[in-house]
Amino acid sequence: MYNFVSGPLVWIAFVVFVGGILYQIVRLVRLAKRDKVVLPYMSLKYGLISLVHWIVPFASKNMRERYEVTIVTFAFHLCLVLLPIFLLAHVVMFSFAWGAKWATVSESTALLLTIVVILAAVFFLARRLMMPEVRFVTFASDYLLLAIAAAPFVTGFMANRQWFDYDTMVIIHMISGAVMLMAIPFTRLSHMLFFPFTRAYMGSEFGAVRHAKDW
Amino acid sequence: MGLPATVLSSVSDPGLDEAAKSLTTDRIQEVVNRVITKETAARFRTYLNTCVHCGLCSDACHWFLSNDRDPRFSPVGKVKQTVWEILRKKGRVDPYFLKECSRIAHTECNGCRRCSMYCPFGIDIAYMLFVIRRICSLCGMVPQFLQDTVNSHAVTFNQMWVKQDEWIDTLQWQEEDARSEITTARIPIDKEGAEIFYSVIAPEPKILAQLIGNIAQIMAIAKMDWTMPSFDGWDNSNMAMFSGDFEIMGRVERAHHEAALKLKVKRIVMGECGHAFRGAVYDGPRWLGWQGPPVPVIHAVDFYHELIFSGKIKIARKFEETVTVQEPCNIVRGRGLGQKLREIIAATCADFRPPEPGFEHNFCCGAGGGVINCGPPWKLSRVKGNSVKAEQLARTKAHIVITPCHNCHSGIEDIISTYKLGQHVKFFSEILMQVIEIPDELKAE
Closest Cα of chain B to A212: distance in Å?
Answer: 4
In whole angstroms, give the CA distance from residue B20 to residue B14.
9
The length of chain A, given as a count of residues: 215
| Local confidence pLDDT in tens for the 445 residues of chain B | 334 434 455 689 999 999 999 999 999 999 999 999 999 999 999 999 999 999 999 999 999 999 999 999 999 999 999 999 999 999 999 999 999 999 999 999 999 999 999 999 999 999 999 999 999 999 999 999 999 999 999 999 999 999 999 999 999 999 999 999 999 999 999 999 999 999 999 999 999 999 999 999 999 999 999 999 999 999 999 999 999 999 999 999 999 999 999 999 999 999 999 999 999 999 999 999 999 999 999 999 999 999 999 999 999 999 999 999 999 999 999 999 999 999 999 999 999 999 999 999 999 999 999 999 999 999 999 999 999 999 999 999 999 999 999 999 999 999 999 999 999 999 999 999 999 999 999 998 7
Contact with chain A for residue B173, Cβ under 8 A: no
Instruction: Answer yes or no: do B47 and A198 touch at CB < 8 A.
Output: yes
Closest CA to A24 of A179, A211, A182: A182
Task: Give the per-residue pLDDT at A113.
Answer: 95
| Three-state DSSP class for residue A15 | helix
Alpha helices in B23-162 (DSSP H): 25-34, 42-50, 62-66, 75-79, 85-88, 95-107, 125-138, 144-156
Cβ within 8 Å of residue B259, ≥6 positions away: B197, B199, B229, B231, B232, B233, B234
Instruction: Answer yes or no: do B120 and A32 touch at CB < 8 A.
Output: no
Chain B hits for A209, Cβ within 8 Å:
282
CA distances from A203 to A55, A195, B49 (A): 13, 12, 19
Closest CA to B405 of B413, B397, B393: B413
Task: Give the per-residue pLDDT at B5.
Answer: 39
Closest CA to B55 of B126, B115, B110: B115
CA distances from A199 to A205, B22, B129, B359, B371 (A): 10, 41, 19, 20, 28
Burial class (CB in 10 A: 0-12, 13-18, 19+), A131: middle
Task: Give the per-residue pLDDT at B9.
Answer: 52
Instruction: Answer yes or no: do B50 and A190 touch at CB < 8 A.
Output: yes
Closest residue on chain B to A132 (Cα): B71
Q: How far is C-alpha B115 from the geometric centre of its chain's CA atoms?
A: 17
What is the helix (H) or strand (E) element at residue B415, kind and residue range?
A: helix B406-418
Closest residue on chain A to B120 (Cα): A54
A66, A128, A136, A146, best to mutate vs chain B, most B CBs in 10 Å = A136
Would you put residue B370 in left (φ > 0), alpha (ψ -120 to 50) or beta? Answer: left
Instruction: Answer yes or no: do A62 and B338 touch at CB < 8 A.
Output: no
Q: How far is C-alpha B397 from the geometric centre of its chain's CA atoms?
A: 26
In whole angstroms, give the CA distance from residue B226 to residue A77.
58
Instruction: Answer yes or no: do B42 and A198 touch at CB < 8 A.
Output: no
Chain A hits for B298, Cβ within 8 Å:
none
Chain A hits for B250, Cβ within 8 Å:
none
Chain A hits for B333, Cβ within 8 Å:
206, 210, 212
Look up the CATH number of the domain holding residue A32.
1.20.950
In whole angstroms, give the CA distance from residue B196 to residue B204.
18
Q: Which of A139, A197, A215 has the CB atom closest to B117's CB atom?
A: A215
Alpha helices in B354-405 (DSSP H): 379-384, 387-396
In whole angstroms, give the CA distance from residue A3 to residue A26.
34
For chain B positions 100-139, those within 8 Å of chain A (CB to CB) are 116-118, 120-124
A200, part of any domain: yes
Which pTM does this prediction carry? 0.94
Task: Give the per-residue pLDDT at A36.
Answer: 86
CA distances from A58 to A55, A116, A199, B362 (A): 9, 20, 16, 19
Amino acid identity, residue B84?
A: W
In B124-219, beta strands by DSSP E: 196-199
Chain A hits for B74, Cβ within 8 Å:
133, 136-137
Instruction: Answer yes or no: do B291 and A40 touch at CB < 8 A.
Output: yes
Contact with chain A for residue B180, Cβ under 8 A: no
A214, part of any domain: no
Contact with chain A for residue B439, Cβ under 8 A: no
Would you put residue B111 in left (φ > 0), alpha (ψ -120 to 50) or beta? Answer: left
B56, B74, B84, B104, best to mutate vs chain A, most A CBs in 10 Å = B56
Check if the beta carbon of residue B186 is closer than 8 Å to that of residue B220: yes
Order of all β-strands in the sheet with B267-270: B226-227, B196-199, B267-270, B297-299
In B304-442, beta strands by DSSP E: 319-325, 349-352, 400-402, 424-426
A86, part of any domain: yes
Closest residue on chain A to B85 (Cα): A137
For chain B positions 69-98, those within 8 Å of chain A (CB to CB) are 69, 71-72, 74, 76-77, 80
Task: Give the per-residue pLDDT at B43.
Answer: 95
A215, part of any domain: no
| Three-state DSSP class for residue B424 | strand
| A2-47 pLDDT tens trace | 888 888 999 999 999 999 999 999 999 999 999 889 999 999 999 9
Whether a cis peptide bond, with omega within 30° of 0, leads into B376 is no
A173, part of any domain: yes
How would residue A1 be classed by pLDDT, with cut points 50, 70 and 90? Answer: confident
Instruction: Answer yes or no: do B334 and A210 touch at CB < 8 A.
Output: yes
What is the helix (H) or strand (E) element at residue B4, kind and residue range?
A: none
Chain B hits for A35, Cβ within 8 Å:
40-44
ipTM score of the complex? 0.94
Chain B hits for A192, Cβ within 8 Å:
none
Total number of domains in chain A: 1
Domain that holds residue A21: 2-209
Q: How many CB atoms lie within 10 A of CB A11?
A: 10
Chain A hits for B357, Cβ within 8 Å:
61
Chain B hits for A185, Cβ within 8 Å:
none
Task: Give the per-residue pLDDT at B402.
Answer: 97
Amino acid identity, residue B216?
A: A
In whole angstroms, give the CA distance from residue B219 to residue A63.
45
* Domain architecture of chain B: domains with CATH: 14-142 (1.10.1060), 159-306 (3.40.50), 314-435 (3.40.50)
Closest residue on chain A to B335 (Cα): A210
